[in-house]
A and B are shown apart, each in its own frame.
Chain A
Amino acid sequence: MTDVIDEALAVAPGSRLDRLRAARPEARKRTQSSYDALFDPAEEQNLARGERFAIALRVAESSGSPALAAHYRARLESLSIGAGEQRWAAIFRHVDRVTREPRAISAADLQALAAAGFDEATIVTLAQIVGFVAYQVRVAATLALLGEDA
C-alpha cells in the first residue's frame, strides 16, 4: 500500500518515524484515504486529476514543502492539463489566497468564481484540496522535525 507522506519523507519500515506513525494507525490510514478520495476520485466531476495535482503542487510550494511539491510535480507530469489560461489564473488566484490568507475570502469572491463558470461542487473540492495539502504539509513538517534527532 502506497503512503504518500512515508514516500515523501522516505520513512523506512521499522524506523523511528515508522513506529511513531504506526502508533496511530487510524490517522495514518485516513490521511492516505483522504488523499485517494481527492486525487484518485471515482468521478473527476469538473476538476480533472491533472488540475487537482497542479493545485496541490501550488499549495505545497507556497507552504514551503519541497518534499511534497516534488511528489505532486511528479504526479502532474504524468497527466496532461486541459484548462485554458484564464481558468488557471482564476484557480491559482483563489488557491493562493485560501492557502495564505483564508480570512480574506468573502462571499463576493465565491460569487466571482461562480460567475466565471465554477459550480458549487468544484469550489468545494477546490477548498478541500487546499485544506488537505495545508494539513499534509504540517503533518510532514512535524515528522521531519521529530526525525532529525534521535
Chain B
Amino acid sequence: MSAHVTKGGFTTEVLDWAAWLEPVDLATASDEQLAALEESGPHAKTSQYYHLLLHDAPVLRERSQLFNAIMYGPKGLPRAERELGAAVESILNGCVYCTSVHARCYLQLAKRPGTIEALFEHGLQARLEPRERAIADFSAALARTPPAAGQAHVRALREAGFSDEDIADLANSVAMFAWANRLMLTLGEPRGNLPEA
C-alpha cells in the first residue's frame, strides 16, 4: 500500500516507539520472559515496548492472548471495524503511536482513506457514512473517563446493522485500546517521522 495519510497531528506511516525506562535486557532474560516474548508475536522481538513490558512477564503473556482474541478472533465484527474502534479511541486519547498502527490496519482492510483523513483532521466532527458514524460515536463515548456510552449509541449501532455480539466485539476493541493507550502514552513516546500537529 502506498498512500499514507498524515493530518492533524496523526499519521498512518510506520513509527517507532522508545521506552522512558530501561527495558529488560534479552541477554539476561529468564525463560519465562523469553516465552512471553515469543507468544506476543514476531514483531515483539525487536520492539522496546514489549521488552519493557517483560518486567511483568505473566501479565504480558495473558494480555497478548487477550489482545489477539479481541483483535483477530475469527468470528463476529469485521476486523476492519474493530480497527476503526481502536483508531478512534487512540485519536481521542492523543496516542499518536497506537493511531498510526491501527489507522493503517483500517486503511489496509477497508480501503477507505477518506474516513481516516476526515477523522485525523476533524475528529468527531468528521463527515462519515452512517455505519462509520455509529461506530465512531459509540467508540468515542466509551473512550471517555468515566465512559459515557448510552442507549442512544446502542440504538444507532443496531440501526446500522449491528447485532449485540457485534456491539460487544466493538466494545472489546475500544476497551483494549483504553488499556493499550495508557501503556503507550505513559511508558514512552513515539519516534521516527512524527507528524506535525
A103 touches B53 (CB 8 A): no
Which of A41, A114, A142 counts the most chain B CB atoms within 10 A? A142
Which A residues are in CB contact (< 8 Å) with B65?
26, 30, 33
Contact A20 B165 (CB under 8 A): yes
Q: Is the interface of A mostly helix, strand, loop or mixed?
A: helix
Contact A125 B73 (CB under 8 A): no
Q: What are the 6 A-B residue pairs with the smallest beta carbon separation, nearest first?
A: A64-B146, A142-B171, A138-B175, A30-B66, A131-B179, A26-B69
Provide the A107-150 mask, 1 if CB < 8 A to any CB of B, else 0.
Answer: 10111001000001101110110111011111101110110110
Binds B, one of A6-14, A76-84, A85-93, A94-102: A94-102
* Chain A: interface residue total (CB-CB under 8 A): 55
B34 CB-CB contact with A under 8 Å? no
Contact check: which of B61, B171, B172 meets A37 at CB < 8 Å?
A: B61
Chain A residues within 8 Å of B41, by CB: none
Asked if B195 CB lies within 8 Å of chain A CBs, one says no
Select A123's contact among B21, B147, B164, B175, beta carbons within 8 Å: B21
Q: In this complex, what residue of B is CB-closest to A43?
A: B58
Q: Are A102 and B164 in contact (CB under 8 A)?
A: no
Q: Which residues of B contact A21 (CB under 8 A)?
A: 168
- For A109, give the chain B residue with the smallest CB separation: B186
> Does A63 contact B146, Cβ atoms closer than 8 Å?
yes
- Asked whether, in the complex, the Cβ of A105 is within 8 Å of the Cβ of B164, the reply is no
Q: Is A38 interfacial (CB-CB < 8 Å)?
A: yes
Closest residue of chain A to B63 (Cβ to Cβ) is: A34
User: Quick check: B146 and A34 within 8 Å, CB to CB?
Assistant: no
**Nearest opposing residue in chain B for A101, CB measure:** B145
8 A-B residue pairings within 8 Å (CB atoms)? A30-B62, A30-B69, A37-B61, A37-B62, A99-B182, A142-B142, A145-B150, A146-B164
Q: A146 near B55 (CB under 8 angstroms)?
A: no
Q: Which residues between 87 and 130 of chain B lie within 8 Å of chain A, taking CB atoms?
A: 93-95
